[in-house]
Copies of this chain bind each other. A is one copy, B any other.
């Protein structure tokens, strides 16, 4: 059972906000977090349990209790990255290093947590409303399972290079845009015991999350990011062993008893 928490800024499409974006509400009638949660739930009740959280909740909905009960955290944010509390970012950061998976969607490239884990600015170029195709350039990766050589995403916000990220472990997907741009649209990173996937689609006023392959990729990523291991962290411990100790400990029978 993979415990997934979908975190959303919940501003553009929040019907209670004065400055709400009607187009975003049309795309995400129950909030973008519910749009994404629905994708994850398709993996089945025996495989995943899904909760949601958002910015305006106490501790942004990411209490110690919630995070300790989360295997994979999905993050979407855009206009309010600066309102996320540094103490909560630190908490998420530590959980990632301890083994929690993190999926950063679209404009989450500029979230505090993603920038902190990269050690870079995570800047990019952008333009709303381009036509996008996505290519699979590492088809052997588990996140690419069931994804064709390329698929049509249609209208999406264009993100362009140079994308100022740390060298990824793997670039799995490449985006092509009709306005003359390319982008490393699907990338993985590891930090400590945690696995991270960045995925570019998901603008608040487009329908990327309805695309069957986008859904499959997010589902694959949830499974790939999951780990049942928690790291045995300690702060720069001193080594107690010596070669003599190793040898004494394993002295009998020419070490053969050791097996």
Docked complex Cα distance between A93 and B110 (Å) = 17
Given known A-B contacts A119-B116, A166-B189, A149 and B161 have beta carbons under 8 A apart: yes
List CB contacts (< 8 Å) of A113-165 with chain B.
116-121, 123-127, 131, 133, 135-141, 144-146, 148-150, 152, 154-155, 158, 160-164
Q: Which residues of B contact A123 (CB under 8 A)?
A: 233-236
Tell me whether A145 and B229 are in contact (CB under 8 A).
yes
Return the 8 tightest CB-CB contacts between A and B, nearest first.
A127-B239, A154-B258, A140-B190, A119-B119, A154-B255, A117-B119, A210-B259, A207-B259
- Residues of B contacting A178 in the complex (Cβ-Cβ under 8 angstroms): 180, 243, 246-247
* Interface pair A190/B138, CB less than 8 Å apart: yes
From B126, B161, B180, give the contact of A246 (CB < 8 A): B180
A179: contacting residue among B135, B137, B241, CB under 8 A: B241
Give the residue name and chain of the B residue nearest to A229 (CB).
B145
User: What size tier do the contact residues of chain A reach?
Assistant: 35 or more
Interface residue ranges of A212-238 to B (CB < 8 Å): 227-229, 231-238
Contact B137 A211 (CB under 8 A): no
Least CB distance from A171 to B in Å reads 7
Chain B residues, Cβ within 8 Å of A207:
256, 259
Tell me how many chains of this kind the complex includes: 4
* Alpha-carbon gap, A228 to B144, bound state (A): 11
Question: Is A254 an interface residue when CB atoms closer than 8 A count as contact?
Answer: yes
Across the interface, name the chain B residue whose C-beta is closest to A177.
B176
A139 touches B236 (CB 8 A): no
A155: B residues at CB distance < 8 A: 254-256, 258
Closest to A125 in B: B239
Listed A/B pairs (22) with beta-carbon separation below 8 Å: A117-B119, A120-B191, A123-B234, A125-B238, A125-B239, A136-B162, A137-B162, A137-B163, A139-B193, A139-B231, A140-B190, A140-B194, A140-B227, A141-B190, A150-B161, A154-B258, A155-B255, A160-B239, A166-B166, A167-B190, A180-B241, A180-B243
How far is it, in angstroms, between the C-alpha of A246 and the C-alpha of B182 when the chains are bound? 15
CB pair A120 B97 closer than 8 Å: yes
Assess the A154–B259 pair: CB atoms within 8 A. Answer: yes
Distance, CA A48 to CA B105, complexed state (A): 35
